Structure 1
Amino acid sequence: MIANSDNLNLTPDEYLSFEEKSDIKHEYRQGEIYAMAGASNNHVLITVNMATLLRNHLRGKGCLTYISDTKVRIDPLNTYYYPDITVSCDERDRNLTQYICYPCLIIEVLSDSTEAFDRGDKFADYRQLQSLQEYVLISQKTKRIDTFLINEQGQWMLSSHDENDPLILKTINFSCLVSEIYEDITFQSVS
């Protein structure tokens, strides 16, 4: 989501109808829509690498991996977001066609323009989803991944993973090396 709203105050049904016809994607938060900015090549490659690893791991296990064209509806907040990657193992999502409502895992690839929102208000909004068990933030500036896992007491626990660490997603019994997610990524040198 970018900071500037298109200043339309739409109902959820109006938003969904508008979004079906729009040439660009918009996120929807409590009546206002926000145009989505384009992604860098590194952002796209990280997303593809992660989604491919997840799809291959989940094949035949009853869970589906969605990429950034699938909206997540947060009903209590009257909000729709486009996460970079979403995993749902809930049968109820299979019957939905414009969005999903019951993700267990959401992954966002961070960018300069979205990092504060992804870590702050967006994460607070995602936590309203009863089904969500794990939230992952992948840096595209450095090989670092932060995972938030909800524990039995309902607290979100942070774990950080660097280049040579394994990434373990307990929600879906998945693991890989952090370096696999950054395959073919070239970082900009800082001068």
Structure 2
Amino acid sequence: MYAQQDSPRLSVEAYLAGEEGSELRHEYIDGQLYAMTGASDRHGLIVSNLVAGLRPLIRGRGCQLFANDMKVRLRIAGQDIFYYPDLLLSCAADDREAYFRTKPCVIVEVLSESTERIDRREKFLAYTTLPSLQDYLLVSQTRREVWHYRRSQDWAAEVLSDGELRLDCLGIGLPLDLIYEEIEALQAT
């Protein structure tokens, strides 16, 4: 997933300006850039399914849903960090920067072999420092499995392979059948 760029430390302002015109996306950790790689067809379908399922449910709630291209900004131990989650939902009216959000209530990462360790450890620890975050989902693209971490459960994982996952942020359920629609067909080919 990552290929560190050999460059001097960048300021947050220089990073944001560079990302605005860049064809390649980079995550930013305390002045260092990490290039993002492409995604598989399963990854893209899962993210699309989540957007298609969530979008009608958030209409009229003042929430904004973003897939792949909206950064989340964190400040941890004096370090600025910008990640590109696969999906983020922000319902805070005062969280409307043009190129990043700071108060998401749901973050989703679709796991791949190259990102799983980072998503499960580094990003989990970073994201759970956000007071606004209620739900963190790790979605497998190789098997029908979603790890649902919730603030209301002290970030203990609930592993789902069937039924419905209930998002605390919205008070709604989302069927796993919807998340994995068309994925089984791909695995059979």
Check the 8 A contact 1:167/1:177 in 2, yes or no.
Answer: yes
CA deviations 1:161-188 (Å, max 9, x no partner) are: 10x3211112211212211111111454
| Distance in 1 separating the partners of 2:75 and 2:181 | 36
Task: Calculate the TM-score normalised by the size of structure 1.
Answer: 0.91
Is 1:78–2:80 an aligned residue pair? yes
Tell me, in whole angstroms, the C-alpha distance in 2 between the residues paired with 1:43 and 1:16.
Answer: 26
State the 1:54 CA deviation: 1.0
Percent identical: 38
Q: Which residues in structure 2 correspond to 1:27-46 (within 5 Å)? A: 27-46=27-46
Name the stretch that deviates more: 167-176 or 10-19: 167-176
In structure 1, give the amino acid aligned to 2:178. Answer: E
Q: Which residue of 2 aligns with 1:170?
A: 168
Residue of structure 1 equivalent to 2:94: 92
What letter matches 1:70 in structure 2? Answer: M
The CA RMSD measured in Å over matched residues stands at 1.6
**Could you tell me how far apart the structure 1 residues matched to 2:21 and 2:168 are?**
38
Corresponding position of 1:143:
144
Stretches of structure 2 lacking an aligned partner (at least 5 in a row): none
Contact 1:134–1:147 (CA under 8 A) maintained in structure 2:
yes
CA distance in 2, matches of 1:128, 1:7: 29
Deviations 1:56-85 (A, max 9, x none): 111111111111110111133300011011
CA contact 2:105–2:169 (8 Å) conserved in 1: yes
Following TM superposition, by how much is the alpha carbon of 1:113 offset from its aligned partner in structure 2, in angstroms? 0.4
- Aligned pair count? 185
Stretches of structure 1 that go unaligned for 5 or more consecutive residues are: none
Runs of 4+ in 1 over 4 A off after TM superposition: none
Q: What's the TM-score, normalizing by structure 2?
A: 0.92
Q: Is the 8 A contact 2:165 2:173 kept in 1?
A: yes
Contact in 1 for aligned 2:134/2:168 (Cα 8 Å): no
Q: Which amino acid aligns with 1:117?
A: I
* Residue 182 (structure 1) aligned with residue 180 (structure 2): yes
Matches of 2:118 and 2:24 in 1, distance apart? Answer: 20
